[in-house]
Amino acid sequence: MKEPVYEKGYPCYEAVNDIYDKRHGGPYDRGGADSYYRRGYNPHYYVGATHMSDRVELSDMTPKQIADYTAGYNANEKEGHFKEY
């Protein structure tokens, strides 16, 4: 099983590490996860841990948060790391 692209060891990690908050549940993380699981583009994030804290929907996200989600989603799409079912 391939690791998500935002983990250490992948080429894009260092480039985005200082730009995006890649904490679990954050916008970048959720974008990458949605792409990885092929759920489609649906900007959102969690204020804390994924599924264990409040979920913030697109309508309540800042432009920066939407850009972070999009960057995570696009990074995974580019790397082609998808869940194999």
Q: In whole angstroms, give the CA distance from residue 4 to residue 29.
A: 9
Query: Considering only CA atoms, which of 24, 57, 53 is closest in space to residue 4?
Result: 24
- Residues 64-79: b if buried by 16+ CB within 10 A, e if exposed: ebbbbbebbbebbbeb
Higher pLDDT pick, 53 / 5: 53
Cβ proximity of 26 and 85 under 8 Å:
no
Rounded to two decimals, the pTM is: 0.78
Q: For 10-43, how does the pLDDT look when each residue is reduced to its tens digit (9 = 90+)?
A: 455 455 556 887 899 999 999 999 999 999 999 9
